[in-house]
Amino acid sequence: MSALAKMASNRLFWPVVMLLVLFAINLVAFPGFFEITVRDGQLFGSLIDILRNGAPTLIIAVGMTLVIATRGIDLSVGAVAAISGAVACSIILGSPAPGSLATVAVAITVALLISLVLGVWNGFLVAALGIQPIIATLILMTAGRGVAMLITEGQILTVNSPPFKFLGSGFWFGIPVAVIIAAVVFGLAALITRRTALGMFIESVGINPEASRQAGVRARGLLFAVYTFCALCAAIAGLILTANTAAADANNTGLFIELDAILAVVIGGTSLAGGRYSLLGTLVGALVIQTLVTTVYTVGIPPIATMVFKAAVVTIVCLLQSPTTAEALSGFRRRLAVRSGKGVAAS
Amino acid sequence: MTHPLADSMESTVTQQTEPAVPAPVPVVEMRGISIGFPGVKALDGVDFRMFPGEVHSLMGENGAGKSTLIKALTGVYGIDAGTITLAGERVSFAGPAQAQAAGISTVYQEVNLLPNLSVAENIMLGREPRRFGGIDWRAMRRRSAELLAGLHLDIDPGSLLGDHSLAVQQLVAIARAIDVNAKVLILDEPTSSLDADEVAELFRVIRSLKDQGVAILFVSHFLDQVYEICDRLTVLRNGTLVGEYLVDELLRIDLVQKMIGKELTALDDLEHRAHASVVDESDAATFVSASKLGRRGAIEPADLPIAVGEVVGLAGLLGSGRTELARLFGGIDRADTGELTIHGENVKLRTPRQAISKRIAFSSENRRDEGIVGELTVRDNIVLALQADRGWFRPIPKKKQDELAQSYIQALNIRPGNPDALVRNLSGGNQQKVLLARWLAIAPRLLILDEPTRGIDIGAKAEIQKLVFNLAENGMSVLFISAELEEVLRLSHRVVVLRDRNVVADLENDGLTVDSLLALIADGRVASDDEALDERAPAVAVVAVGSGDGPAASAPSTPSTEGDRS
C-alpha cells in the first residue's frame, strides 16, 4: 500500500482534506484569510473567528460523540442550551448586583446543575426505561424549549453583566474565552475517556451491548454518565451563546445546534451505529462546519443559498466516507489493476 | 495441482472416455480461481467442480478459503482470475441475484429470512405470484404448501416464520431455495444449530433433492455428517486446492491430515489421557452447588454440585435446558427458584458482573451476539472482563494489557497474532480463543463453556479441548456444554443429562458411552443393565487410562494473571 493510500484509509483523511479545501477557497476569495493580528493584546483574524464561533458547536459535539458511541443520540442539546441560558440570565436579572462576579458565578453554577438534572432525566429514559434514545431525547427537545420559555416568561432576557459577557466575547491571554473553554472540555473528555477504561467501555457497549453486559460492563451507569455529560456540554455551550449576545432567547438560543453537532460527529468519522469514536475527528468536523459558514460569507454566496451549499458539502463528505463508496472505489481500482496487469480475460 | 480423478473425469461433452461408467458432465466447473483481498490471497488457482445428483462437501479449516470459494460461485465476490462454467456455459456473475437466476441457490448458516413475515411470504418473497396487478395470495399459499409438502414439512404456510424453531426455519430457507429451480444448492453449515432428529430430517430432504438431479454443496464441520451424506469432497488449505476425493475412498484420518496439513495427535492424546485424573473423592471440595435452582419457562428446579477441579459435562438436545441451566450459574439470567452456594455460602447472582466478582465466567454459545465485541481489537477484547471487574477508574496499564494480550495470543495460538487486529476480522476459531482468553484473564474458579467448539476447525477444537483439560487439572472447575457427545465424554468427569428442561441423570463418567447417553437423552432413562454391560466393553477403549506422558509437555500453558489459581 502506498503512503497516500495508507493515509486515505485513515478516517480523518477526508475530513481534513475537506477542511484544507475550504481553507484554500477562502484564501482565494480573501487573501488575508490566514492573517492573525494582535490588537490590544488580543488575537484577531478569520481563523480566530472560526475557532470562537465554532466553540459552542464543538463543545456540544464532544458530548454528542460519546452519546453516539454508545449507539445513542441526544436531540435535546439545543433545548438544554436554551434552558441553561435562560436560567443564568434570569438569575442575573433577578439579582441586585448583575455585574458582580459572585452573581455570575451563582448563575453559572445553578445553570450547570440544572443541566445535570436534565441529563440524568435523559439517562433515566434511555438506560432505566430502555426507551430508544431518539425518542427519549425528543421529549426534552420539544419540552425543553417550553421550559425555557416559562423561565424567561416569554421574553428575551437581555442582561448587562460584564463578567457574564466575558464568557462569550472576552479574551484571556489574548485568546477568546470561548475557545479556551472548548479546549478544556475537549481535553478533559479526551483525557477522561482515553486515560481510563471509560472509552473502551463506551465503545464496547455501543458495539455489542449484550456481550458487554456478559463481560461485566455496567452499561446502565455508563449511559447515565454519558447523557449527563452531554447535557453538561450543552449547558456550557448555551451559556457561551447567551453571553455572546448578552440575551437569553428561549426560542432561538441553540436552535438546530443538535444537527450541527451530530454532523460534526459524523463528518469526524464516528459512525451513527455506535462503537469506535474519534474526538479528534469531531474537532475536525466542527471546524469544517464552522469554516463552511465563514466560507459562505467570504465567497459571497447569497444567504438564501447558504443551506443548499452546506448540504452539498456535507453530502460530499458523507459520500467520501461511506463504505459503499469505498468499496466501489476499491473495486474500480482492482479492476483497473487486473486489466492492466496480466490481461486476464475478464468476461 | 490436478484432480486425482482429473484424467478420467475431465471430459467435454464430445469426449467421453469410459462408456462403461458414463462420465457425468459437471454442472459446475471452476478453474484456476484466484481472489485477493488487501494483504491476503484468499484463493490461489483453485479448481472445483460439482456433478448433478451428487452431494459434494467442501472441507478445510477456518481460513482455508471455503467461504470465499462459495462466494465466488454465488456471485458475491468477483474473481481476479479463473473461469466459472455452469452447465457447459462460461458465466460471470455480477451479483448474487444473477447467480440465483442461473440456478445457484444458497442457504446460509444464519437463516437469512424475515421472522415477522409468514412462511409463505418468506418462500415466495421477491417472486410473488401476481394477479390483477396485486399479489395472488391464494396461489402463493398453494405454491408454498406444495413446496413444504415436498419437504414433508407439516406447517401452516400462513404462520409467522419467527414462531418456528430454527430447524424449521432452515427447512423453509431450503424450500425457498429449491423453488428457484435450483441446479445447484449450497448449504453452508446447515446443521450447526440442529439436533439429531432435525439433521436426519434435513438429510432426507437432501437425498430426495439429490435424486432429482440437484447438485448439492454441503459444508459442515461435522465429519460424521459429511461421511453420511456426501459422495465427493474437495479439500482446501490456505487458499489452495489440496485435492478432490470420493468420500468412500478417503479415510477420516487421512481427510483430517489433508485439512490441517500436519499429523493430528492432539485429539489422540486426549483420548488416552482423559479421566486419568478423575478428582479423588477426598479432595473433591464442592466449589459451587445449586439446589432446586430454576427459572420459569427455561429450566425446572435442578440440583447440581460442581467440585473444585471438576469438569461437569451437560448433555442434552437444544432446548433441553442445558444452556438455560448454565446461564443461571453465570448470572446471565436470574433464577426465580432455588439457591446457589459457593463454598457453602449462599450467593445471589443477579448479573454477570456479580458472577464475575465470584470468579465465575460464562462463555456464551452465541459468540457473535453475546461474546466478542467485533469492532474492538484483540487486546481490548481480552482485557474487557478483567477491566470491567476492576472498574473504569483503575485502567490496566497499557504495558500490562500488552503483556496479557501477548501471552494469551501465544498460549492459545491466536492467529493472526496481532493484538491490534479487529476481532471481527478473525476466523471463528480464533474469535473463540480470544473469548476464552478474556475469561481466563479473570482467573476464574468456575469456567462455563457453552459450545466452545461449535463451528470452529478441528485444530482449534483440539487446542480448546486440551486447554479445558489442563485448566481442570490446575483446579479450575469447568461446566462444559457441547452438542457433540464424544467431546462431552472425552472431557468430563461427570455428565449431567438434561431432557425437556429437567435434569434426568447425573453420572460419573465411568464406562459411559455415546450410546448410553443417547438413550438417556432420547428416553430419559438409563439403559437397562444388559445394555449397559454390553456397552461397557467398547467403552473401555475410549476411557482407557493413558500412557501417562505428561500433559504439560505438549499442552498450552495458560499464563497466570492476577488472582490465585492454585
In this prediction, residues A260-280 reach a mean pLDDT of 91
Domain layout of chain B by residue ranges: 1-103+223-262, 267-371+441-554
At A346 the pLDDT is 39
Nearest CA-CA partner of B443 in B505, B508, B513, B361: B361
Question: Which string of b and e fits A305-323 if b means at least 16 CB within 10 Å?
Answer: eeeebbeebbeebeebbee
**DSSP H helix total and E strand total for chain B:** 20, 22
When pLDDT is cut at 50, 70 and 90, the band that residue B553 belongs to is very low
For helices B458-473 and B428-441, the axis angle rounded to 10 degrees is 20
User: A46 in a domain, yes or no?
Assistant: no
**Residue holding cell 488580543?**
A42
A198 to chain B, any CB pair closer than 8 A? The answer is yes
Instruction: Report how far residue B421's alpha carbon sits from residue B379's, in angstroms, rounded to the nearest whole number.
Output: 8
Higher pLDDT, A319 or A331: A319
Res. B546: pLDDT tops 50: no
Q: What is the pLDDT, as a whole number, of residue B148?
A: 86
Query: Does the pLDDT value for residue B525 go beyond 90?
Result: no
Residues A38-65 as b or e (16 or more Cβ within 10 Å = b): eeeeebbbbbbebbbbbbbbbbbbbbbb
CB contact under 8 A, A1 and B370: no
Highest mean pLDDT of the ranges A217-231, B17-31, B145-159, B525-539: A217-231
Which one of B92, B356, B394 has the shortest CB-CB distance to A216?
B356
Among the listed residues B167, B218, B224, B158, the one whose alpha carbon sits nearest the alpha carbon of residue B197: B167
CB-based contact B546:B427 (threshold 8 Å): no
Q: Which residues does chain B have within 8 Å of residue A345's beta carbon, measured at their own beta carbons?
A: 83
pLDDT score of B40: 63
**A347: pLDDT strictly greater than 60:** no
Model confidence at A250: pLDDT above 60 = yes
Q: What average pLDDT does this structure show over B315-340? A: 89
Query: CB neighbours of B537 closer than 8 A, spacing ≥ 6?
Result: none
- Mean pLDDT throughout A27-41? 88
Q: What is the pLDDT of residue B12?
A: 40
Dist CA B242 CA B59 (whole Å): 10
Report the CATH fold assignment for B1-103+223-262: Rossmann fold (3.40.50)
The answer to whether residue A338 neighbours chain B at the CB level (below 8 Å) is yes
Instruction: Give pLDDT, residue B39.
Output: 56
Domains B1-103+223-262 and B267-371+441-554 share a fold: yes
% chain A with pLDDT above 90: 68
The answer to whether residue A270 sits within a structural domain is yes
The verdict on a CB contact (< 8 Å) between B385 and A216 is: yes
Residues in Cβ contact with A194 at an 8 Å cutoff, skipping those fewer than 6 apart: none
User: What confidence tier does B151 reach under pLDDT thresholds 50, 70, 90?
Assistant: confident
- Which residues are paired to B41 by β-bridges? B36
Which cell numbers in the block locate residue B351? 448479573
Q: What pLDDT score does B150 carry?
A: 78
Count the Cβ atoms, other than its own, within 10 Å of residue B138. 10
A224 contacts chain B (CB < 8 A)? no
CB B78 within 8 A of CB A331: yes
Q: B467 pLDDT exceeds 90?
A: no
What is d(CA B407, CA B430) in angstroms, rounded to the nearest whole number?
A: 15
**Whether A324 contacts chain B with CB within 8 A:** no
CB atoms inside a 10 Å sphere around CB A74: 31
Does A200 touch chain B if contact means CB atoms closer than 8 Å?
yes
Residue, of B514 and B528, whose pLDDT is higher: B514
Exposure b/e, B110-119, CB count within 10 A at least 16 = b:
ebebeeeebb
Domain count, chain A: 1
Of A219, A214, A220, the C-alpha closest to A203 is: A219
pLDDT confidence of residue B484: 78
The whole-number average pLDDT for the span B436-460 is 88
Q: Which of A113, A116, A101 is nearest to A165 (CA)?
A: A101
pLDDT of residue B67: 83
Q: Is the pLDDT of residue B432 over 60?
A: yes
Nearest to B372 among A197, A201, A211 (CB): A211
Asked whether the beta carbons of A292 and A54 are under 8 A apart, the reply is no
Q: Taking a C-beta distance cutoff of 8 angstroms, is the pair B185, B24 a contact?
A: no
- In this predicted structure, which of A73-87, B259-273, B532-546 has the lowest mean pLDDT? B532-546
pLDDT of residue B281: 46
d(CA A49, CA B75): 53
Answer yes or no: is pLDDT of B93 > 60: yes
Q: Is the pLDDT of residue B529 over 70?
A: no
Q: Give contacts of A219 with chain B, Cβ < 8 Å.
A: none
ipTM of the complex: 0.86
**Inside any domain, residue A203:** yes
Q: How far B162 CA sits from the closest chain A CA (Å)?
A: 21
Higher pLDDT, B537 or A342: A342
Task: Answer yes or no: is A346 within a domain.
Answer: no
Name the average pLDDT for chain B: 80
Residue A80 in domain? yes
Which stretches of B252-319 are DSSP H helices? 252-260, 266-273
pLDDT tens by residue, B417-430 = 889 999 988 877 88
CB B433 within 8 A of CB B414: yes
Classify residue A27: in a domain, yes or no. no
pLDDT at res. A229: 98
Region B267-371+441-554: CATH code: 3.40.50.300
Say which of B364, B375, B393 has its CB closest to residue A275.
B375
Distance from CA of A263 to the nearest CA of B (A): 22
Q: Which comes out higher in pLDDT, residue B111 or A77?
A: A77
Could you tell me whether strands B446-450 and B477-481 are parallel, antiparallel, or unpaired per DSSP bridges? parallel
pLDDT at residue number A20: 94
List all residues of chain B from 430 to 459 with a beta carbon under 8 Å from chain A: 438
Task: Look at residue B180 in the predicted model and tell me its pLDDT.
Answer: 67
Question: Which of A69-73, B73-77, B101-105, B134-138 holds the top average pLDDT?
Answer: A69-73
pLDDT of residue A24: 93
Residues forming a β-bridge with B379: none
So what's the pLDDT on residue B383? 96
**Average pLDDT, integer, range A324-338:** 72
Diameter of chain B measured on Cα atoms? 80
Question: Is 50 exceeded by the pLDDT of residue B542?
Answer: no
Is-above-0.80 flag for pTM?
Answer: no
Partner B contacted by A277 (CB < 8 A): no
Give the DSSP H or E segment for B142: helix B137-150
Tell me which amino acid residue A193 is: T
Contact yes or no for A197 and B390 at CB 8 A: yes
For A118, the domain range is 54-321
Q: Would an 8 Å CB–CB cutoff place B392 in contact with chain A? A: yes
Residue-level pLDDT at A326 = 73
Q: What is the CATH number of the domain that holds A239?
A: 1.10.3470
The string of pLDDT tens digits covering residues B358-414 is 999 999 988 888 999 999 999 999 999 999 999 999 999 999 999 999 999 998 888
Each residue's pLDDT tens digit, A163-200: 999 999 899 999 999 999 999 999 999 999 999 999 99
Residue A76 has pLDDT above 50, yes or no: yes
User: Residue B337, SS3?
Assistant: strand
Q: Is residue A86 part of a domain?
A: yes
pLDDT in tens, B484-513: 788 888 899 999 999 878 899 999 988 888
